[in-house]
Amino acid sequence: MTLISTLSAELDEMRAAGTLKRELLMKSAQGPIVEVEGKGEVIMLTSNNYLGLADHPVIVEAAEKAERDYGYGLASVRFICGTQTIHRTLEERIAQFFGTEDTILYGSCWNANEGLFQTVALEQDAIVSDELNHASIIDGIRLAKARKERFKNRDVADFRRALEATKESRNTIVMTDGVFSMEGSLAPLPEMIDIAKEYDAFLVVDDSHGTGVLGKTGRGTAEEMGVAGKIDAHTSTLGKALGGSHGGFTTGPKPLVDYLRQKSRPYLFSNTLPPAVVMGSLAAIDLIENDPSFVTRLRDNTTYFRAQLTAKGVTVRPGIHPIVPIIIGDTAKAIAMSAELLDRGIYLSGFGFPVVPQGAARLRCQISAAHTREHLDRAIEAIVAVAEKHEVLSNA
């Protein structure tokens, strides 16, 4: 049992250092207010439920209807007997939403990223990737045989250097998050589009935190930056703004999608999305397209929250995104602050190493369209009080 003693010793070290992550048990649906076992009702300030659709009655009804009409699961992968008409409908709707030719669904965006690079980037190709890209991109790239070149986060000059370094490759794929999930910062897409074009590289954006969130109509980071329609392909998730359940996709040119359908391993060897998720996601896209107020409310709430916290001396990473990180530094301190906030009725997670670099632990606030001003004010009051106690207020 030496493996188990090794693991236990490391867990003990993490426990002693105060860096052990704990999972709170919720007894309610995901929403702006959740019930946490042993704590009662608290304000949720740390979920990806950006538009508040995770418990939206229209989506719940669509999911229930899907189960009545199409059953609970397909007991298969897509190409054997796991494709219903609704799977194709969702793929087409996502393509329309993004203005692309076609879409391929995956069990998650993790799977979409995992199934992209190893499939289309071979030994003679190159992948150029932002250093702060999501873990699913990093792992996905590891599986590819292509040459790999990283560039400094959002650094356009270093991006050009990386492309120059790989220019002899047959094909070059550029990969960036649209929104960097620990920072709430956006990739410099307009510049990247121009430079990628110069080098004839294929630009893919993982817009998991942009889809349904950014841009006037929620179409994502490219819409926000005025370059919608100029990204070669996107990966994204159904597990955040678009209902918050599960599932992901790659959307782009038809030959790319056709090729992935033939060869992408997480698509070929993992179960199809369940009908409830498919119909729930379709309902989510309908809601966003028919009611622009979801996106507007999210933007207004974010602007208010950022301005109020800053005015009260809490330093947040600047930006426009509903991810609002408060940098604390020490992991144990961030976790302790998170626990104190929970005692004050605010559910706000602390993130430390290895999710973020050593010394850059943070509380990552995430705003939802479903928050009321009262929720936000209560959260701000609690954060300011805990920040004051831990001496992280800039005006202290």
Ligand X SMILES: Cc1ncc(COP(=O)(O)O)c(C=O)c1O
Cβ 106 to ligand X, closest distance in Å?
8
Q: 24-59: string of b/e by CB count within 10 Å (b at 16+)?
A: eebeeebbbbbebeeeeebbbbbbbbbbbbbbbeeb
Closest CA to 74 of 230, 274, 322, 258: 274
What does the alpha-carbon distance between residue 88 and residue 104 come to, in Å, rounded to a whole number?
A: 9
| C-beta of 130 vs 232, nearer to ligand X | 130
Percent of the chain that is helix, strand, coil (3-state, to 5): 45, 15, 40
Active-site pick, 47, 108, 181, 281 = 181
The correct pick among 47, 108, 185, 272 for binding ligand X (CB under 6 A) is 108
Neighbours of 17 (CB within 10 A): 12
Q: Does 249 bind ligand X (CB under 6 A)?
A: no
Q: For residues 168-227, which are near ligand X according to CB under 6 A? A: 177, 181, 206, 208-209
Give the amino acid at 303. Answer: T
Q: Does 134 bind ligand X (CB under 6 A)?
A: yes
Active-site pick, 87, 209, 234, 333 = 209
Q: Does 181 qualify as catalytic in the annotation?
A: yes
The correct pick among 176, 185, 221, 237 for binding ligand X (CB under 6 A) is 237
Closest CA to 141 of 162, 124, 120: 120
Which range binds ligand X by CB under 6 A, 36-44, 107-115, 164-172, 185-193? 107-115
| C-beta of 100 vs 176, nearer to ligand X | 176
Q: Does 301 bind ligand X (CB under 6 A)?
A: no
Cβ 204 to ligand X, closest distance in Å?
12
Cβ 245 to ligand X, closest distance in Å?
10
Closest CA to 248 of 283, 213, 211, 223: 211
Q: For residues 303-332, which are near ligand X according to CB under 6 A? A: none
| C-beta of 114 vs 125, nearer to ligand X | 114
What does the alpha-carbon distance between residue 346 and residue 357 come to, in Å, rounded to a whole number?
A: 25
> What are the angstrom distances between the C-alpha of 202 and each of 126, 230, 234, 299?
10, 11, 11, 31
User: What DSSP designation does 284 have?
Assistant: H
Q: Does 390 qualify as catalytic in the annotation?
A: no
What does the alpha-carbon distance between residue 25 and residue 39 come to, in Å, rounded to a whole number?
A: 10
| C-beta of 169 vs 281, nearer to ligand X | 281
Size of the site for ligand X (CB under 6 A): 13
Active-site pick, 56, 234, 240, 321 = 240
| C-beta of 244 vs 275, nearer to ligand X | 244
User: What DSSP designation does 232 have?
Assistant: S
Q: Does 270 qualify as catalytic in the annotation?
A: no
Q: Does 109 bind ligand X (CB under 6 A)?
A: yes
Binding site for ligand X (CB under 6 A): 108-110, 134, 136, 177, 181, 206, 208-209, 237, 239, 248
Which residues are identified as catalytic? 181, 209, 240
